[in-house]
């Protein structure tokens, strides 16, 4: 049984970019430039894959809480310094009522205030309670006071320790 002979294949190539015709031309399979291109194709593909895998990935959206600037105290609506709308910011001096998203729902905080500040809770029957938050203090699970937090002040405002 005789084996069929194979005809040399012809490859299609583009003309140089400056050629206005932009038609494809045929090159013979034995053309040396074709052999060189074929020899370089596999290493070039491997190099491209290696470079693509070594490129640093684009980082995802940050899940780390924003850094609290000096002189400020941040309160979050969820544990772990997270929550919809981000942090609510307080900077002494004075009293500030908490925004609705963290009022009676402040489950974490981080203080970089230079002085102690006081979380304030107004009781339904009158009077108030405070909780001291010292400089550089933080709590990722402030469940004890999360549902009491009404606002924050740089003084005790005449409230009882709570």
pLDDT band at 107 (very low <50, low <70, confident <90, very high): very high
Note the Cα 86 to chain centre separation in Å.
13
The mean pLDDT of the chain is 79
Q: pLDDT > 90: what percent of the chain? A: 58
Flag the least confident range among 22-26, 105-109, 115-119.
22-26
- Of the two residues 11 and 89, the one the predictor is more confident about is 89
* Calpha distance 17→36 (Å, rounded): 20
**Lowest-confidence region among 65-74, 127-136, 151-160:** 65-74
CB-based burial, 53-76: b 16+ in 10 Å, e otherwise: eeeeeeeeeeeebeebeeeebbbb
- Quote the CA–CA distance of 132 and 118 in Å, as a whole number: 5
Give the pTM. 0.60
Residue 67 to residues 71, 86, 110, Cα–Cα distance (Å)? 12, 12, 9
In sequence order, the 6+-apart residues with CB closer than 8 A to the CB of 72 are: 89, 90, 91, 112, 113
Measure the CA angle with vertex 139, ends 135 and 143; round to 5°.
135
């Amino acid at each position: 049984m005789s084996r069929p002979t194979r005809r040399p294949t012809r490859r299609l190539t583009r003309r140089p970019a400056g050629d206005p015709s932009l038609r494809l031309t045929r090159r013979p399979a034995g053309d040396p430039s074709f052999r060189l291109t074929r020899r370089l194709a596999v290493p070039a593909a491997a190099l491209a894959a290696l470079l693509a895998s070594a490129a640093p990935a684009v980082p995802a959206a940050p899940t780390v809480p924003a850094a609290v600037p000096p002189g400020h105290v941040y309160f979050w609506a969820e544990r772990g310094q997270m929550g919809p709308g981000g942090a609510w910011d307080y900077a002494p001096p004075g009293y500030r009522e908490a925004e609705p998203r963290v009022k009676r729902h402040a489950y974490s905080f981080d203080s970089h205030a230079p002085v102690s500040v006081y979380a304030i809770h107004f009781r339904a029957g009158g009077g108030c309670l405070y909780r001291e938050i010292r400089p550089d203090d933080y709590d990722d699970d402030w469940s004890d006071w999360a549902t009491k937090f009404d606002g924050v002040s740089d003084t005790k405002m005449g409230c009882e320790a709570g």
